[in-house]
Structure formats: structure tokens, C-alpha cells
Structure 1
Amino acid sequence: MIAATTPLSIKTPKPVSSETSPSTPLSYHLIKERYQAAGQGHLLTYYDDLSEADQSALLHQLHHLNVERVNRIHQKATTCPSPMLTNQSALLAPLPEECFDSILEASPDKVNEWQTIGLKQIAQNKVGVILLAGGQGTRLGSTAPKGCYDIQLPSTKCLFQIQAERIFKLQALAREQEGVTEEVIIPWYVMTSGPTRLATVKFFEEHNYFGLSQDNVVFFEQGTLPCLTFDGRIMMESKSQIAVAPDGNGGVYAALRGTGVLANMAERKIEYLHAYCVDNCLVRVADPVFIGYCVSKNADCGAKVVRKKSPDEPVGVVCLRNATFNVVEYSEIDDEVANRINPRNGQLAFGAGNIANHFYTVDFLNKVESFEGDLEYHIARKKIKSLDISTGEVVTPKQVNGMKLEMFVFDVFPFTQRMAVFEVDRREEFSPLKNAPGTGQDCPETSRRDILQQHVRFIQNAGGKVVVGEDDKQLEGAPTLEISPLVTYSGEGLSHLVSGKSIKTPLLINSLEDLEKALF
């Protein structure tokens, strides 16, 4: 096993030439010739002005950058017709009924069947988790990785801790269902970005991996791509440094392969993966119901979705485009299509809102390399601080001056052979943290509210009553009731204690003993 205190590192690509030291004069001439041939010779404009150390650093970057690939990506992104840039409503079709199910309409017996299948896979150590955690909390007013953010729950738990404890509890539930005595392990593969890597690892170390074994928390880093001018010239951050940006959450597929994570999964005999974004405070990590549903469908790829609130809700929709699975942006769907109703259930025909919550088989992840060249790169036009090659000065632009190229995690959907789409209850499973405190939508206050309200429902669904105490401030209108994930993963295991009884808020429950003491 690979210990988390020695995180997996990105493997260095094979150099273009056979030179082992990019600081030699021969390497300089070869690199200069190569970059001039690629139309990117400007990157060496200030080479002679640099110190030996900076010259070596620049040559090292250029030596290992596949500049021809960068040119191809730019060419494809800017010249190939993209369905993201034109209205393709006439080519859209709703999801086939055979690949879609909803937990909102499924019987309790069917849900229990899916959960049983999922817990069995977990108990057999066949399930791993991929956490997309490369983002910083900049929009939240924090420079720390977003997973470190404290949404001001009574427990002060951050997003990382909440999710880690859900993994811990789920391992116990799987062990209990299957009656196994050996250890049940759900490996947690945490994808960081360059700016968040060291801070994330340090945070986990300082918090003792939130009770998980450090051997089963594996960090890896997403890739980067150079920032480009609109005519495809690579931008520079300084005279000795290329300007780069993360390649989007869709870069996870290349990163899994390039950092050795897929090999680690093979070593552990993992067969199924659950992938999600760190900013969803309600995420059911390694959700056994979702895992069991996808396994029962023999799916190689799956997506959780939530029902759109209205036809004009600005969210991407999982549907068919040109007879393949895709996520179609709201702006691409005209009013007639957006309002179309499915006569079978009276719901929106195009109502499967994407929440970046996916299932994969390891076999599918291993196949991504074979079609990676066909994946779409999306252009993000940005204000990019960069070196003005003509003056040698670093300029902070007031207007958009360049582009960052990125891939989205759902870009692999058109290549799946057996897709499964699973609709879940938004109240129970989706509350993203994206906006600054006080904005009133997808912010720390709404995240905290949604968790507290869910925990009230846990007690009520178990047959208990929640009494709001006089000293409960009820922030955001939610009774202050927090139940640790170590007590219950999704509300299970409470009814034998709380049925027919009451509890009074404010209350923080860290154990079944805490709950039992609070009952009256």
C-alpha cells in the first residue's frame, strides 16, 4: 500500500530528446529549434538575461512540456465545431428509460436491494472513492483548500472531516451487513491541484487523517496546461516561468493514470469508484445505494442527478446529444425543449440536473486513454497576469487577454457503453458551497442550514420528535441539531432509540450515548 505521508507524485513525461540534463548547451539548441518549429520560440526571448539557475529552470519546463500537443489542443479547441458553442436542441433527446431510475419513485424494497448490493461490494473491498479537491476557497474569503472550510456547524467540522467520517461509518455498516471479521477498506483518492497539494496533505496530517488509516488516503495532483493568447502563443508568468493553469476537473483521468493511482487501484483489486466534488456538504460518499444501482445495471459509468426545480433553472442537464450521453448546458436548450414534459411521469423530459457525482468501473477508467485524444477541451477566457514579451514587464490586464483550456469530468460520457443515471433527492444529497458568506445561495449559511435540517429529518423519520428549545437561535431557520456521521450515515440505526420519544435543541450528538441521554 502507498502511505499518504509519502504522497504519490506526478511522473515526469519522457523527454523529447535523449539529453538527461536540460542545462547543457546542446539541450538549449535542441529546445530552441523545437520551439521555433512549433511557433513558440518567444518563450526563450529573455533566456540570455537569466541567471544560470533560472536558465536551467526554464529549460527544464520546456524540455518536459509537450509543445506539439499544446498546439494540437489549441487548434482543436478553437477550430473544431463544438456542440458547446452552438444551439443543438434539434439533436437532443431525453434519457432512455432503461438507463434511468429515481430514488424519488423507487419502492423501499428496491432501494434496500440496491443498498444491499452496494454494501456487499464495499465489504469485499471492491469500492474506492475519488475526491475532486483541487479548488481553493477564494470565493469564500479563504486561501486554504476548500475542503478545509468550516461552515460553522456546532461541531466546527470542516468538509474534509464530515466526508472522512462518512467513509468511516460506511465501512462499519458494510462489515456489519456482511458479517465479516476482516477490515473493510474504502480507499480515498484525493485529487489536489498544485496550489492546494501541500496545504491539503499538511491539513490531513495535522488532523490525524480524521480517524482513517493514513495508508488508505492517497493524494495525487491534477495536471496543468499553459495559458494561451487567443492566437495560440504560450504565455509567460515571468522571464523564466511559463504561465500554467489546472486542466479542469476532467484532468482527473490523465492524472489517475500518470500518477500511478490506477496502478494502486489494481494492486488493491478495486473494481468500482465513486467520484464527487469536495464542496457538496451533503454528499453520500461511496453511497451504497448508488453503487448498488450501477452494479445492478452492469454500468461502466454512472451519474447522480437531481430533478430541476423549474424549466429555466440554469443547470446542466444529462441527456442524449447525437445519440450519445452528454451534459448539455442550460444556455444550449431552447424554451420548447426546456419545457417539454415526459408523458410517463409528468416530469420535465430534460430535467436531470447534473451535480458532478459519478460512478465508474476501473475497467472504464483504464479505457479513457484510448479515446483521450477525442475529448473536448473547453475555452475559459480570462484576465491573465503575464509577461509582455515586447517590453519584458509583467502586466496585470484590465480586460480579458488570454485563455485557459480545461476539460470537464463529464466529457467522457459520450464514450460510455453502458450508462446509468440515478435521480436522488436534492434535499438529502446536494448542497454545494460556492459563494461567499451572506450571499444567500450555495454559501456557508445554506450549507449549514441544509445539514441541520437533514438531521432533524433523521430523527423525525426514525419516529422521534424534535422540540426547539428556547435558547436555540435557529440560525437560517433550522433547529440546531447536529448528528455526527459516526453515529449515522444516512439516518439508519436510530429508530430503536428515538421512536416515540423527543429531543430538545440546541443539541450536538457525537455518539449513540449522547442521543440516549438527550431523549425524553
Structure 2
Amino acid sequence: MTQLYQSERKRFEERGQGQVFAHAASLDSVGQEKLCADTQLIDLDEIESLVDTLVRNHGTEAISFEGLEPAPYISHPVHGGDKAEWDRARASGEAALRAGKVAAFTVAGGQGTRLGYDGPKGTFPVTPIRKRPLFQVFAEKLLAAGNRYGVAIPWYIMTSSINHEATVQAFEEAGFFGLERDQVKFFSQGRMPAVDFEGKILLSGKDTVAMSPDGHGGSLRALVRSGAIADMKERGIEAISYFQVDNPLVQVIDPAFIGFHMDHGSEMSSKMIPKAYPGEKVGHFCVQNGRTLVVEYSDMPEAMQEERDSSGQLRFLSGSIAIHILDVGFVERIGGGKAGVGLPFHRADKKIQTVDADGNVIAPDKPNGVKFEMFVFDALPFASNPVIIETLREDDFSPVKNASGIDSAESCRDDQLRQWTRWLKAAGIVLPADSSGLPEIVFEISPLFADSEQAFLEKWSAIADKPEIVAGTVLA
């Protein structure tokens, strides 16, 4: 037995977690090394604290709704917002971009399992004609923005232990989708061990701890621990454009959003969309005791979600869609856990594959343990001068989460077509479409041709011999 094995076993036994090594004596040296590779990732002080607060005490502390109010937000010009204010913000954001102060950051740790797809979700084909993957859509938007502002915008991508190698391989095989190799930085999400309802760390195999990703909130400390924040500081980056991998409609680089963030001296800014109906499954931007926070739809009482103001509009209208701008210094402070500041963990009771006393693998049919995860929106209460701006759902939010129905590949494809049809209409080309704006033909506009309506109008007006838009047309 190696010195590492002996020290790790002693460390766990002294903290009452010796069961992690229950089958270690039957393992060969390779198996013991594999087990120790997992145990070295585990902070037993952190696990003990989480067990005390979330497992033994059942994590049942009631959420207080006393004094909870809807958070204020900056309205979009389409809905009465001050256009001059938005123009000033856009100018500020464009100046920051030209100065190289902005980076993109994608949370991309998931697989395409729910879509019936075998591979990292970012490699899932999502465009109507070219069948380009999510990663390529984002890369082309970054290329378009970079060309516009004369700068190579760095892109940081957080993978997971299950898809890191496949993600890097996909980029290498695609020539980084046109980006420079040193423009893209990959790092893997942190993992946390699962425990049983007594607080004992579970094994998923004799030589493997039952580990799971630490939630999208874990992205902040992963940015710090991976060295990504240090890299950003060396590059002069001040603001991070955060978005998730499942939303191809997202404005990867939104100068107005960046400008509002910069002009307000905000440490964390967020986009909201008005909820479509009371029970829509998005979090709610709220204010409580002077702090901005997000209350999940599953936590807010139904009666509160259905409250309306004097005009008949939903009172808690602002829906969170996981699009943020983060200050680099803020991420360094929160992700580094300095001065006792860090995101809280949440408890999730799950069915967790484990092994019994004899080493037999058990696949439970009901929850048998607890996983710990963090949510990125829990950083909002720690942020100075948080800003929330309204965005248009049809131009910024159409996630691909499900195999069919709402938030599926099909619904997203249709939303892309509706967006491009609106751009054409603004240019004076009206395509036959149904009442929802979905055109009768299928076509595609690459972000390399235009990544916004404004960019499309500029590009289209400059074309002398304009192409006819028919089924199968690709503007790239």
C-alpha cells in the first residue's frame, strides 16, 4: 500500500468516513490509486458542515417571504424603456469591447441525454439547414462580435468530468470553429461526494466515490480554482458574459447589457424576461431587506406567483433566464471564498447508485442519498449595485432542454426561423408565415452573416445583387 493510500485512509477514518475504504483491501494498486484520486478531491471539513446543516437538520429551514418585493428592472425600449439610456449603455459596452475588457463564459457540463443524443450537449446540432452544433453557433457569434469591435474575445468553457475530453476533441476536430486556439480555454467543473441520509459518503463502486457536479453555482469557484480568473486578469478582462450552453438564441455579446453593467458599477447584472404565465418555470427576481435575490418557482407559493398589480400585470413578473454579466473581482471574491464569503449549497435528494457491504452494485428505485449543489443566482445578494435589464424573449431565450414539446430542438428551430423572418421583414422582405410568425419555408442565417437585426439590416443594404430567400437558403 502506498503512503498516499495510507494517509487518505487515515484521514477518512479519523473523520468517521472510513466506510469509503471498506473494499479497498480487495483492490489492486490501480484500484487503490483510482479511489485515492477521488478522495483527494474531498474537503472533509466542508462535507461535515454540509451534513450538519443540510442532512442531519434535514435542510428544512423555512424560506421567509416577509418583506419580499418584485425587483426593479430597466425596461426594454420596445416596452417603454428610455431609448436614449439604452443608446448610452450600448456605446459604453462597445467601448469596453474595443478595449478588450470582456470575455465570454459558457457553462457546458451537460450531456445530451434528455435529447436522446450521445455526446456533450454543446455538440448537439441545432440550426435548421446547416445542422450546426450549439458550440459553433456561439463561436460564430463571437467571431462576428470580434470582427465588429476589432478584438479577439476570449471564451472560457466549463466542462465536466463526463464530457471534458469529448468537448475538447470536438473543438480540435472542428478547428475551433474558426476561433484561434489560444482564444478558447477549457476547465472542468468541481464535483462533490454524495452522502446517505446519515451523512456517510457513498461509493458508486468499490474503487469509486459517488461524485456529482456541484451545480452551475460551482462555476464561480471553478473559474478561480482553474486559473481562469488569473488568466482573465492578465488579459485585462473586467467583465464576464455568462450564459448556458443550451440556449442558441442568446446574445453572447450584448453591448447594451455590458454597458448598463459598467455604467452602474455593478458586480453582477442579470437579464429578465416577463413571465408568460404565472406558473412558468423560471425563477423570480426579488428584493428583500435591501438585497436582490432570485426565488425559485418551486419555492414561491402559487398564490404569490398569481398576484397581479392594479394594471392586471403579474406582480412577480421578472423571470430569471441564467444570463448574467459578472465582474472579475467579484468572481474572485465569491469563488475564492474569501473572508467567509461563498455561495450556499442546496440539498437534493436523489437515487444514487451505490454498493452494499459485500460490494454488490445497487441501483435504488427511490432516493437513497443527498447531493450538494450551488446555484449561480445565489451570488446576487452578495453583489454591489446589481442591475437587472429586460430582454426580449424572442431575441434572447429559446433553450434546448427536452426531446419534444416546450424547450425542445424543434421549438428552438422554430424560434430561430421566427427571428430571421422578423429581420427580413424589417428589411422589407415579407415571407408567408403563420400567426406566430413561423415562415412556411425553412432557411438559415449564420451569425457570420448577421448576429442581430441591426447587423442584418446593415449587411443586407450593402448587397447590390440581393439573393432570393427560398426554401433551403443559407446566408453565411
Q: Residue 5 of structure 2 contacts residue 33 of structure 2 at CA under 8 Å; is this kept in 1?
A: no
Match for residue 276 of structure 2?
A: 309
Structure 2: gaps of 5 or more residues: none
From 85, 90, 115, the equivalent of 1:110 is 85
Query: Quick one: which of 90, 109, 113 aligns to 1:134?
Result: 109
Partner deviation per Cα, 1:159-217 (whole Å, 9 max, x = no partner):
11111101111112223xxxxxxxx0210000000111001000011111111111100
1:483-502 paired onto structure 2 within 5 Å: 483-495=445-457, 497=460
CA distance in 2: counterparts of 1:31 and 1:331, whole angstroms:
40
Task: Tell me the amino acid that sits aligned with residue 216 of structure 1.
Answer: Q
Match for residue 453 of structure 1 among 418, 432, 446: 418
Against the structure 1 CA distance between its residues 493 and 416, is the aligned structure 2 distance closer, same or farther, given a 3 Å change threshold? closer
Mapped pair 1:48 → 2:25: yes
**Which residue number corresponds to residue 86 of structure 1?**
62
Q: 1:136 to 1:335 in 2, by over 3 A?
A: closer
Q: Does 1:393 find its partner at 2:369?
A: no
* Structure 1: unaligned runs, 5 residues or longer: 1-21, 176-183, 469-473, 512-520
CA displacement, residues 94-143 of structure 1 (integer Å, 9 cap, x when unaligned)? 21x4x544343224433332222111111110000110000100000112
Determine what percentage of the aligned residue pairs are the same residue. 33
Is the CA contact (8 Å cut-off) linking 2:282 and 2:296 kept in structure 1?
A: yes
Match of 2:195 in 1: 228
What amino acid is the match of 1:23? T
Per-residue displacement from partner, 1:70-89 (whole Å, max 9, x unpaired)? 2212223236696x963533
Q: Superposition pairs for residues 136-151 of structure 1, below 5 Å?
A: 136-151=111-126
- Contact 1:446/1:476 (CA < 8 Å) preserved in 2? no
**How far apart, CA to CA, are the structure 1 residues paired with 2:47 and 2:275?**
37
Indicate conservation of the 8 Å contact 1:467/1:502, yes or no: no
Is the Cα contact below 8 Å between 2:74 and 2:81 reproduced in 1? Answer: no
1:287: Cα distance to partner? 1.1
State the shift of 1:331 in Å: 3.1
Instruction: Using the TM superposition, give the Cα deviation of residue 442 of structure 1 relative to its aligned residue in structure 2, in angstroms.
Output: 0.4
CA contact (8 A) 1:187 1:216 kept: yes
SS of 2:453's equivalent? coil
Counterpart in the other structure of 1:14: none
Indicate conservation of the 8 Å contact 2:261/2:325, yes or no: yes
In 2, are the aligned partners of 1:467 and 1:505 still within 8 Å (CA)? no
1:138 to 1:478, Cα distance in 2 relative to 1, 3 A = farther
Report matched runs for 1:291-302 at 5 Å: 291-302=258-269
The change in CA–CA distance for 1:122 and 1:346 in structure 2 (over 3 A counts) is farther
Structure 1 residue 352 displacement after superposition: 0.8
The letter of the residue matching 1:147 is: G
Alpha-carbon distance between aligned partners in 2 of 1:270 and 1:508, rounded to the nearest angstrom: 38
Kept in 2, the 8 Å contact 1:89–1:334? The answer is: no
The equivalent residue for 1:366 is: 332
SS class of match (1:89):
coil
Distance in 1 of aligned mates of 2:437 and 2:365: 40
Q: 1:58 aligned to 2:26?
A: no
In the alignment, residue 188 of structure 1 is paired with which amino acid? W
How is 1:309-328 mapped onto 2 (pairs within 5 angstroms)? 309-328=276-295
Alignment of 1:42-441 (within 5 A): 42-78=19-55, 86-95=62-71, 97=72, 100-103=74-77, 104-151=79-126, 153-175=128-150, 184-342=151-309, 347-368=313-334, 369-370=337-338, 374-388=342-356, 390-436=357-403, 439-441=404-406
Cα separation, 2, equivalents of 1:238 and 1:111: 55
Give how far 1:498 is off: 5.5
Q: CA deviation at 1:460?
A: 1.1
Please state whether the residue corresponding to 1:354 is helix, strand or coil.
strand
Could you report, residue by residue, the CA deviation over 1:421-447 in whole angstroms, capped at 9, with x for unpaired residues?
0111111110011001xx221001001
Say if 1:463 and 1:498, in contact at 8 Å, map to a contact too: no
SS in 1 for 2:286: strand
Q: Taking structure 1 as reference, are residues 503 and 293 closer, same or farther at Cα in structure 2, changes over 3 Å only? A: farther
Give me the whole-angstrom Cα distance separating, in 2, the residues matched to 1:300 and 1:118: 15
Shift of 1:308: 0.5
Report the secondary structure of 2:66's partner residue: helix
- Residue of structure 2 in register with 1:37 after alignment: 14
Amino acid at match of 2:263: S
Contact 2:158 2:187 in 1 (8 A): yes
Residues 464-503 of structure 1 mapped to structure 2, 5 A cutoff: 464-466=429-431, 479-495=441-457, 497=460, 503=468
Question: Quick check: 1:151–1:158 contact (8 Å CA) kept in 2?
Answer: yes
Give the secondary structure class of the aligned counterpart of 1:417. coil
RMSD of aligned Cα (Å): 2.5
| Structure 2 Cα separation of the partners of residues 434 and 160 of structure 1 | 15
Give matches, 1:12-23, under 5 Å.
23=2
Residue type of the alignment partner of 1:481: F
Aligned amino acid, residue 40 of structure 1? Q
CA distance in 2, matches of 1:502, 1:346: 46
Q: Secondary structure at the match of 1:404?
A: strand
TM-score normalised by the chain length of structure 1: 0.84
- Give the drift of 1:383: 1.3
Distance across 1 between alignment mates of 2:449 and 2:63: 48
Q: Which residue of 2 aligns with 1:462?
A: 427
Of 442, 452, 463 in structure 1, the residue corresponding to residue 407 of structure 2 is 442
SS of the residue corresponding to residue 91 of structure 1 reads coil
Deviation for aligned residue 1:271: 0.6
User: TM-score w.r.t. structure 2 length?
Assistant: 0.92
AA aligned opposite 2:2: S
